[in-house]
Amino acid sequence: MAKLVEPHGGKGLVCALLHGSELEAEKEKAAGLKKVQVSARAKGDLIMMGIGGFSPLSGFMGRDDWKGVCENMQLADGTFWPVPITLDISKEDADAISAGDEIALEADGEIMATMKVTEKYEMTEADKKWECEKVFKGEGEDSADDKFWEIAMEDHPGVIMVMNQKEYNIAGPVKVLSQGEYPDEYPGVYLTPAETRAMFEERGWTNVAALQLRNPMHRSHEFLAKIAIEVCDGVLIHSLIGNLKPGDIPADVRVKAIEILIDNYFVKDNVINAGYPLDMRYAGPREGLLHATFRQNYGINNMLIGRDHAGVGDFYGLFEAQEIFDRIPKTGDAGKDLQCKPMKIDWTFYCHKCDGMASMRTCPHSKEDRVILSGTKLRKALSEGGDIPDHFGRDEVLEHLKKYYAGLTEKVEVKMQKAASGEDMK
């Protein structure tokens, strides 16, 4: 009998979240420990470790794991992992912490976790630059050797985030005490890997696809999801509900937009609307691999990867996030290797001559006949009060988004990159 894909790492779901009396005892202990303030990114990482989303990780990475992930996309033991999951602290905190210490990790006034420190290592400017070049540098024109650092420090939020990290990293296993605000703010949408797996099993799904979203769904997203529904048992529309960069649309607005779309244009038995608690790392193709890695823990074996997946500006090739799946390391150990496979979909659009959604593989017409769809293009039009072309999005969704933008008092300029404008379309 067919079953869901196993969690990544070969150890089942590795969940650091405590419950019941164990949770209460750890909270009491945490109150007396040295407290270290952590970033929003680390808060999301902790929650994912808590619920098993980052299996097999049970804590933040030491230097050997950090180096292996940056260089080879593998932890020190050979397990595939594409993006560093590290915890940075200030020199002041580092001077007061030694290996063997237990500390409390705090975010937004709440103790999120305790941590047994196993390692402390300095992150020099050179270390941070090396990480950025390994993880964030791509094949697009903005990643050229003579441009990357000049442009990245202004326009690449992932690079800026790493370069602004504090002077030291600490590593060690964690005990997670909270899932933050997510269960209360997104009831029925914020789902743990155990919950999605139970839902898939209840529905009889074993071949499941995920659609990654950080923008509201436009017609291309809808088309991608429906392609997957045709060939899989069902699709998890999985939105990032952590922090984004300025100018991106908040999670609650996007979640409601997806609900509107599902209510009006999907067979509900074949789709689930869910969210996960991470911040975007803006790591382009490497982030596409991260999306597939933790989706495997949610019970998903197919990751939809379209044009410019997790792209930033013009740092990456249009289909680099698809091509990177062909270059990932393999050990031959099913537990250590990535089992979630990419569903590679060509550039999709609405074609007036085809009179419907199409892709470069199905549409023989010219780009003048096509409505080029992208989340960036949609956000730019909405932010500037511009006209939205016919067939760009569903009317009910666009009305919801227009109301959000009409209520904004401050707007952030949305830059249009080549991938969003359609300049590179043949």
Q: Are residues 247 and 379 in the same domain?
A: yes
In a domain, 276, yes or no: yes
Question: For residue 426, what pLDDT is reported?
Answer: 60
Annotate 231-243 with DSSP letters as a single string. HSSEEEEEEE-S-
Question: For residue 2, what pLDDT is reported?
Answer: 75
In a domain, 8, yes or no: no
Q: What's 101's domain CATH number?
A: 3.10.400.10
Q: Are residues 336 and 414 in the same domain?
A: yes
Question: For residue 357, what pLDDT is reported?
Answer: 94
Q: Are residues 229 and 343 in the same domain?
A: yes
> Which of 124, 145, 180 is at the close of a domain?
180
Q: How far is CA 315 from CA 136, 288, 320, in A?
A: 8, 14, 10
pTM of the model: 0.93
Question: For residue 49, what pLDDT is reported?
Answer: 98
Question: For residue 418, what pLDDT is reported?
Answer: 58
Q: Are residues 132 and 203 in the same domain?
A: no
Q: Are residues 146 and 206 in the same domain?
A: no
Question: For residue 380, what pLDDT is reported?
Answer: 77
Q: Would you state the structure tokens that stand for residue 361, as one six-digit string?
A: 């593989």
Q: Are residues 157 and 204 in the same domain?
A: no
- pLDDT digits over 311-355, tens only? 999 999 999 999 999 999 999 999 999 999 999 999 899 999 999
Question: For residue 363, what pLDDT is reported?
Answer: 96
Q: Would you state the structure tokens that stand for residue 426, as one six-digit string?
A: 């043949």
Q: Which residues does the annotation mark as catalytic? A: 214-215
Positive or negative, the Cα torsion across 274, 318, 330, 173?
negative
Nearest-5° Cα angle at 368, 365 to 371 = 95
H-type helices in 54-192, by residue range?
A: 63-72, 91-95, 125-135, 148-155, 157-163, 182-185
Q: Are residues 305 and 364 in the same domain?
A: yes
Q: Are residues 168 and 252 in the same domain?
A: no
Question: For residue 421, what pLDDT is reported?
Answer: 53
Q: Are residues 210 and 136 in the same domain?
A: no
In a domain, 287, yes or no: yes
Per-residue tens of pLDDT for the chain, all 426 residues: 679 999 999 999 999 999 999 999 999 999 999 999 999 999 999 999 999 999 999 999 999 999 999 999 999 999 999 999 999 999 999 999 999 999 999 999 999 999 999 999 999 999 999 999 999 999 999 999 999 999 999 999 999 999 999 999 999 999 999 999 999 999 999 999 999 999 999 999 999 999 998 887 889 899 999 999 999 999 999 999 987 767 778 899 999 999 999 999 999 999 999 999 999 899 999 999 999 999 999 999 999 999 899 899 999 999 999 999 999 999 999 999 999 999 999 989 999 999 999 999 999 999 899 988 776 777 778 878 777 888 888 999 999 998 988 888 766 555 655 555 555 656
Q: What's 407's domain CATH number?
A: 3.40.50.620
Q: Are residues 270 and 294 in the same domain?
A: yes
In a domain, 9, yes or no: no
Question: For residue 389, what pLDDT is reported?
Answer: 80
Residue 74's domain comprises 20-180
Q: Are residues 172 and 201 in the same domain?
A: no
> Which of 122, 149, 180 is at the close of a domain?
180
> Which of 121, 149, 180 is at the close of a domain?
180
* Whether 216 contacts 257, CB under 8 Å: yes
Q: Classify residue 389 by burial, with Cβ atoms within 10 Å: 0-12, 13-18, 19+.
A: middle
In a domain, 7, yes or no: no
